[in-house]
Amino acid sequence: MVKTSAESILFVCTGNIFRSMTAEFALRAHLADRSRFEISSAGTHDFSTAQVREDVASYLQSKGLDVTHHQRRTLSGEHISAATQIIAMNGDHQKFLLERFSVEAPLFSEACGYGPAQLPDVDDLFAPADRYGSEAQKHIYLTIDTIINQIPNLAERLLAES
């Protein structure tokens, strides 16, 4: 990845198939043609066989975000060096970025102008047998809604800074 004159926003989560992906697609859709930003996302762990859950893709589609062609990415030094701003979705991602790449990154909520708030993954909250249950699905939908609802604040802040 080569730096360009555009600002590059990188969202980071664990697998790049839920939270950071949602933020990437939501910010890109919100800014549309008004932006000179390059927006991407990546995961801290290499879940190369992982795919976007069908319920996640369907819910995002209902919100106007088509993630059908999303290709998950594992975070690398190249992604870090190309980004002008890196945003972590959870505290464990902040810790990973600091320990692995010596990068301090705000939490998504902080980048949006709110206080620090974690966006935990399904794996953080539910036992493997419960990760596809109704409570997990409610958590997913609430997290997606939180990200989408906070994106306008993030976009406003990014546009004001540039």
> Domain containing 61 — which CATH number?
3.40.50.2300
Q: Does residue 80 surpass a pLDDT of 90?
A: yes
* SS3 (DSSP) at 1: coil
Does residue 89 fall inside a structural domain?
yes
Residue 146 CA from chain centroid, whole number: 12
Q: What's the whole-number mean pLDDT along residues 105-121?
A: 97
Q: What is the percentage of the chain residues whose pLDDT exceeds 70? A: 96
* Per-residue confidence band for 75, with pLDDT thresholds at 50, 70 and 90: very high
Retrieve residue 70's tokens: 């999303």
Domain of residue 72 covers 7-157
Q: What's the whole-number mean pLDDT along residues 90-98?
A: 97
Does residue 11 fall inside a structural domain?
yes
pLDDT at site 5 = 56
* Per-residue confidence band for 161, with pLDDT thresholds at 50, 70 and 90: confident
Q: Does residue 90 surpass a pLDDT of 80?
A: yes
Which of 141 and 162 is assigned the larger pLDDT? 141
Domains: count for the chain: 1
Does residue 23 fall inside a structural domain?
yes
pLDDT at site 1 = 39
Does residue 39 fall inside a structural domain?
yes
pLDDT at site 98 = 98
Give the H/E segment covering residue 85: strand 85-88
pLDDT at site 162 = 73
Does residue 2 fall inside a structural domain?
no
- Angstrom distance (rounded) from CA 141 to CA 150: 14
* Per-residue confidence band for 71, with pLDDT thresholds at 50, 70 and 90: very high
Does residue 40 fall inside a structural domain?
yes
- Angstrom distance (rounded) from CA 76 to CA 79: 5
Q: What's the whole-number mean pLDDT along residues 29-44?
A: 89
Does residue 1 fall inside a structural domain?
no
Total Cβ atoms within 10 A of residue 152: 14
* SS3 (DSSP) at 158: helix
Q: Does residue 2 surpass a pLDDT of 70?
A: no
